[in-house]
Structure 1
Amino acid sequence: MAEVIKGDAPAILNRLIAEKGLRKEYVAKQLGIRPSNLSDRLSGRVKFDADFAFKVSKVLGVDVKIFLTENYSK
């Protein structure tokens, strides 16, 4: 199965959080997860999947396509 999440999605998310001047603790709270879980996703210890991409894009107010490859289809 083709990968639907860009390999650099965690780096993209890290950059977005910094650009928006947000604290990772705040983003984690908005996502309903522990800060350690967000840290694990940003570091690659926990998979950054499509469900997470949709949730985080909604929280940050960005288009989910920023995290998705062209292989993704609804």
Structure 2
Amino acid sequence: MPDRAEGMGPEALTSEYRRIMEIVAGADGPVMAKDVAKALERELTPGKVEPVRGQLRKLADRGWISRTGAGRYLPR
């Protein structure tokens, strides 16, 4: 996944990462990994939620979304 640069849109991401960004953007407020996993229709077990948490961290680390100090995610 590329770092977000000026003028770069979500089309630079895979379809799964784009879907995660849509979920975060469509939420009423900050979301947790389990909220995103639920929206992706995954089981809410640690083995299914942790990979989603990793994807959210990647998106935040590369500038696509923001992470709060409480480990919740917001659109940028």
> Normalising TM by the smaller chain, what interval?
0.3 to 0.5
Higher relative contact order (CA 8 A, sep 6+): 1
- Per the normalisation by structure 1, the TM-score is 0.35
Larger % of strand: which? 2
Larger % of helix: which? 1
- Per the normalisation by structure 2, the TM-score is 0.35
